[in-house]
Structure 1
Amino acid sequence: MPKALWNSRNAHFFLAALSMTGLTLTTSAGAQEYSTEKEDTEVVLSPDGYSPYAGRNFPQVPLWGDSHLHTMVSVDAGTMTRLSQEDAFRFARGEEVTTTHGLRAKLSRPLDWLVVSDHAEMYGLMPQLLGGDAEILSTPKGKEWYEKLSAGDPQVTFDTAMEIVASLSGDVPPIDNPKAIKHAWENYTALADRFNQPGVFSAIIGYEYTTEGANNLHRNVLFRDDSLRANQTRPFSQFDSKNPEDLWDYLAEYEARTGGEVLAIAHNGNLSNGRMFSMNAWDGSELTREIVEMRARFEPIYEPTQIKGDGEAHPFLSPDDEFADFDTWDASNLNGTESKTPEMLPAEYAREALKRGLKIEQELGVNPFKFGMVGATDSHTGMATAQEDNFFGKHSGVEPEPERWKHIVIEAPDPDLSIYGWKQAAGGLGAVWARENTRAAIFDAMMRKETYATTGSRMMVRFFAGYNFTDEDALSRLPADAGYAKGVPMGGNLAMTEDGQAPTFLFAALKDPLSGNLDRIQIVKGWLDAGGQTQEKIYDVAWSGDREIGANGKLPDVGNTVDVANATWTNSIGAAELIGTWQDPDFEASLSAFYYARVIEIPTPRWTAYEAKRFGVEMDAAVPMITTERAYTSPIWYTPG
């Protein structure tokens, strides 16, 4: 975390924390029992009987969650937030909490699942350090930091906090105490088991592997398992290895040794400066089949949208896409130490990565970038807030207040590369089509990529591909019946027919009742042409109103009802739902391709507009006040042969 995420007043939170007694994580509790049997992915519809819902054994509703949340247990977040892992679970379940600055906070609707993914590096250090843990104080650096933080001098506290955060970028941990990490990890896994309520709320065990420092090759690691298996390992950190390929080896060893299951979710390729989706191995050598197989196995989904910008597409890479320039962070890497250059962009954005995957598959026989989509917050406040009117920001150094919009989030050596508070995106969320709300069912849905990402809205989205969908399928109020019976869902694979028939798609979207109406549904296609070059095209396949596609091939704008001054809008434009079928008019049976749906809402107020209204402030003209929330489904891949 860059030093600018702090300011001098944060020192007072350290001093207040030091006055607290018994600052520890929640003690162990018994693990919840749940079935570890994988769910059957075959669909069996029951045409017999009266009820249309009887016999439906496929997912009925999306389960909403956040796979990327930090609390005081993370070293960087712990220098600012006082919210614990227990607070994070309580908040996600819909309970009201008090923020670090004393504000009352609550979600508009509870989440269905949560991963508290605190950083692996010196896992659990800050609560232990502030609480005077004997294991930490037995180390030279722990004793030094504790004495400085206990001195009562705000400047010393601030400087020490900066030293602690800076230590994360080193090659060796300044406090190397496996016993303390084991204690913190087991406290967390027991807490997750205690909050895990099968059928009601899934507390999924996980952590974040943070590597490459400013180039941000970070992964969130998620377990299918409970504490009994998760405690047989410990968080793998960059102090173990900065090479993500070594992380995959570590995860494979865990599975082989314990019989458990685990996956990793990469994020923020937009800040990796050409590293996240490189066409080479981590060390710059050529990719091998073994490397791409490991990535394909352990990284089934990707996080394209969160607080640090949107990474679905970039206008430089997709100049014909009028929606590509959305919450774009493209000035530099994570801490502003290296400017962005155009040649870096193809290895940073999800759509381009999906295209690159087709090319690698042609060469090596495996697609390492065959990932689904899931959104998350990456909040370091302990609160999974992704709604525009309820956004608490990246970290607790600055909570909602009149000047938050111009606070420096990333202070770069070159001021032009610095990131200010208003640039933060109030997103995102992950939707998982699982048959039941259990750890196992959610994990299995992620493995089969039946997921989608949103920028914070909770719109319901269905997306299927097959060869026999008809317009009548779109007339049903239960489109999933036809979708599962006649095709494959998002994340699936579509085989070639004997006669090379063009695939058909069934799609549906229902608005979030607390957000804007729907503008349109688009299908994004990427493919490998006959010359081995990647291509893309975007099709508007359903839209609101009586608009018609123009001579330029574009659909006219839906309009805008946002009243910025009052941070309101009307749903007098757009549609409450969109549903339909579509057949690819440019299909060539011999060419590999992928398809995913992108759903766009009508314009609504951005969090900055709500903030300006609440505090009566006038922000700079460059600050965006309007947003268009969206969803990205996992792709469906077509493979010839």
Structure 2
Amino acid sequence: MKWITDNVAWQRTLLGLALLGLSACGRSPESAAGGVAPPLRQDCRNISAERQPFFGDLHIHTTYSLDANTQGTVLKPADAYRFARGEALGLQPYDANGEPTRRAQLDRPLDFAAVTDHAELFGETQICTNADEPGYDSLECRFYRAQPDNAFVVFNLFGPGFTGIPKIPVPLPALSFLSQLSPLFGDGEQILRLPYCGLNGERCLQAARTPWRDMQAAAEAAYDRSSDCAFTSFVGYEYTAAPLSNNLHRNVIFASDVVPELPPSYIDYPAPEYLWAALDEQCRSVDGCDVLTIPHNSNLSAGLMFQTRDDRGRAYTAEFAAQRQRNEPLAEIYQHKGQSECLNTMGAGAQDELCGFEVMPYNNLTGDRFGGLNTGPPMEQDFLREALKEGLRQQATLGVNPFKYGFIGSTDTHLATSGNADERNFPGHAGAGLNPRDGITGLTDVIETSPGGLAVLWAEQNTREALFAAMQRREAYATSGNRPVLRFFGGWNLPTNLCARADLVTRGYADGVPMGADLPPAPGGSTAPRFAVSVLRDPHPSAGPLQRLQIIKGWVAADGSKQERVYDVAGRRDSSAGVDLDTCEPTGDPGFASLCSVWQDPEFDAAQGAFYYARAVENPSCRWATQQCVAAKVDCSAPDSVPEGFEDCCNADFPKTIQERAWSSPIWYDAARR
């Protein structure tokens, strides 16, 4: 397949990176470049009208995030971009001389990245970690530096933890100070911050400008505006909504260097719809500013991420559904805290054995803290496959689909190690995982977490404009950290012999639509849509061969019930491929270098709306923890010999192997357009 081979060859030729000047948010006079507009970028030498796959990470944390900072991360956004471009970084723990005791480096640089530090406590963290800031010697900051783990809990409670929780009204104006002292009091207007932030939090809001400007400066410096187009950076941040630890987080990605003076955070805008309104006012109303939000870890939202009522308990309207669809074209289907595709323990997902991949065993961010008192088992409605089906049901009622999501993956690293999603030599990601600040003994992360994945965007060239447009039209796919090249087209008249033709991509665009799009109305005489799906294995020596290629269909039946079916369209379902768990060497079926199929829906009903997405699966390989257990020569048959920190090597609740995979964004069929 020449088109795939050419794309892989192109990936291997990306060379060189440039550092350039900054123009910051709203071109404010305090920006690192003094408000001077950035240089115009040159045209890329490598442009393809048929688009190319660019691999990146849109979920990266550095020292500016409270959790990363309290875990000893000192690396800044500029370091995260250096790592993304292939440079090595030193990681905590640090020795007595302040030197890092660990190092990490990508085998292959990324094509793009966005640092997305938590916006909610930018100022609080900045004040407590910089001696020149007023408030550095406050009681709160002394507590922060002396007891960082406890400070993480307390600072989150007096801010994002209690934001959006109903308050006790203040009975008298003279007692209004209560709303500044306790999260239990207020009228919904006051914003609670720690006392050292000053009246209305002004001191912390002012301090927040420093990390926000540095994030912009780092993104601008990393962006290659030369004709090499070797690396693209985006200005972004994380909106960290988590009422009672139920995850409603979004990564906010800006199209250009024109961004708000401060990032709208959950403390100030305590529901996603208020965030979207703030972004309309502070970004989209400004010339040159555009933005989108990407929800992640719906698997940890305890039923909230895809609920069909707004913050005030009102059922979705067509206008609300359109607002959500416009702001959120993509969702993060896989990262450090597990996959959000489908649940293997109940409902339809229980019939799909591949839904058992990297499932977190609880339903919110509390996890196993506090003896599990604030959490429960994962919930089917929190997974994207179920949300896509609910979106079809909402569309039938409202005329608009609020859950029309394409897919990406990312890492959610809290070590500034952008795109470090390799199962081999995994140093952990900290954050919700293992705290590496004071040293690591044994496994480098908690057993239920993973290295996370990557985002892949199909675009003409590696520029902000082209990549952002790909995100908006959902021409994107997710991987579990590997780098296969996945194409997915749908149409009514795609040639049945397309896999044997050199013009697969040309005909896919000409006769159909790519991943992320809607099927056009069926022409006369068409009975069912056809889909062309093709994948080439990741060429890296450590990557495994392909096992099978699938198409997943979801629809809503005439009685309103939500349905799904998984079709194997290429490869070998009954493969004998396996892994020798003593050595992590592959066994059995050697798998495939490429797979392709043109498939027609055998049960198509023109009266039923539907979605279709592709899933490409590799042969089994050792999970990150198994590789570390093998390297440590752990012998579970002799429990007393298991070294400290390696006890989970013998934990039967977690699999020893994984099957790396890629998920295409869906293609939708709208029955109302037939």
> TM-score normalized by structure 2?
0.79
Paired residue for 2:291?
262
The answer to whether the 8 Å contact 1:373/1:451 transfers is yes
Query: Which amino acid counterpart does residue 541 of structure 1 have in structure 2?
Result: V
**2:409 — aligned with what?**
375
Q: State the alpha-carbon separation in 1 of the partners of residues 476 and 499 from structure 2.
A: 21
| Unmatched segments (≥5 aa) in structure 1 | 1-25, 40-52, 408-420, 545-554
Give the direction of change, closer, same or farther, for the CA distance of 1:128–1:110 in structure 2 (3 Å limit).
farther
1:503-534 superposed Cα distances (whole Å, 9 cap, x missing partner): 11111001112311111110001112222322
| 1:31–1:66 Cα change, 3 Å | farther
2:218 matched to 1:191? yes
The count of residues paired between Structure 1 and Structure 2 equals: 563
User: How many angstroms does 1:159 deviate by?
Assistant: 4.0
Q: 1:441 aligns with which of 466, 482, 490?
A: 466
TM-score for both structures, normalised by structure 1: 0.83
Distance in 2, matches of 1:390 and 1:54, equals 33
Name 1:28's counterpart in structure 2. 32
2:421 matched residue in structure 1: 386
Q: Are residue 535 (structure 1) and residue 563 (structure 2) matched?
A: yes
Partner of 2:436: 398
Q: Deviations over 1:478-503 (max 9, x none)?
A: 52122112110000110232345311
1:252 is aligned, of 280, 285, 304, to 280
Instruction: Give the conservation status (yes or no) of the 8 Å contact 2:70–2:148.
Output: no
1:94 and 1:120 map into 2 onto residues whose CA distance is 27
> Does residue 1:567 correspond to 2:584, yes or no?
yes
- Among candidates 52, 55, 65, match of residue 64 of structure 1: 55
Partners of 1:612 and 1:56 lie apart in 2 by: 44
SS at match of 1:562: strand
Instruction: Give deviations 1:364-400, integer Å, cap 9, x for gaps.
Output: 1110111100001111111121110032223172389
Structure 2 gap ranges (5+): 1-29, 94-100, 164-191, 368-372, 636-648
Distance in 1 (alpha carbons) for counterparts of 2:494 and 2:650: 50
**Separation (CA, whole Å) in 1 of partners of 2:534 and 2:396:** 32
Structure 1 residues 330 and 500: CA distance shift in structure 2, 3 A: farther
Match of 1:508 among 526, 529, 534: 534
How far apart are the structure 2 equivalents of 1:613 and 1:54? 43
Contact 1:494 1:637 in 2 (8 A): yes
- For each residue in 1:334-382, what CA deviation from the matched residue of structure 2 results, as whole angstroms up to 9, or x when unmatched? 104434367x422x00001000001101111110111100001111111
1:559-611 superposed Cα distances (whole Å, 9 cap, x missing partner): 23422222333685210100121111111112111100011110011101221
Partners of 2:31 and 2:580 lie apart in 1 by 49
Distance 1:146 1:402 in 2: 29
Runs of 4+ in 1 over 6 A off after TM superposition: none
| Distance of aligned partners of 1:55 and 1:501 in 2 relative to their CA distance in 1, 3 Å threshold | farther
CA contact (8 A) 2:577 2:591 kept: no
Question: CA separation of 1:439/1:166 partners in 2, compared to 1, >3 Å: closer, same or farther?
Answer: same
Correspondence for 1:15: none
Shift of 1:162: 4.5
The 5-angstrom pairing of residues 478-557 of structure 1 reads: 478-497=503-522, 498-514=524-540, 515-544=543-572, 555-556=573-574
Q: Which residue of 2 aligns with 1:207?
A: 237
Secondary structure at the aligned position of 1:78 is classed as: helix
Q: Any residues of structure 2 matched to 1:402-481 within 5 Å, and which?
A: 402-404=441-443, 421-481=446-506
Q: Distance in 2 between matches of 1:222 and 1:157?
A: 29
1:145 matched to 2:148? The reply is no
Write the deviation string for residues 244-270 of structure 1: whole angstroms up to 9, x where unpaired. 110111111120234411000001111
Sequence identity (%): 37
1:95-148 CA-partner distances (Å, limit 9, x unpaired): 0111122211100100111110000112254354222132443xxxx6223444
Verify: 1:283 aligned to 2:312, yes or no.
yes
CA separation of 1:448 and 1:610: change in aligned 2, threshold 3 A = same
Map of 1:104 onto structure 2: 103
Alignment partner of 1:246: what SS?
helix
8 Å contact 2:451–2:481 — kept in the other structure?
Answer: yes
Hey, what does 2:249 align to over in structure 1? Answer: 218
Aligned to 2:650, the other structure's residue is in SS state coil
Give the whole-Å Cα distance in 2 for the aligned partners of 1:564 and 1:478: 42
Change in Cα spacing, 1:299 to 1:160, as seen in structure 2 (3 Å) is closer
> 1:503 is matched by which residue type in structure 2?
P
Q: Distance in 1 between the 2:129 and 2:375 partners? A: 37
Structure 2 residue 382 is the aligned partner of structure 1 residue 352: no
- AA of the residue aligned to 1:173: R
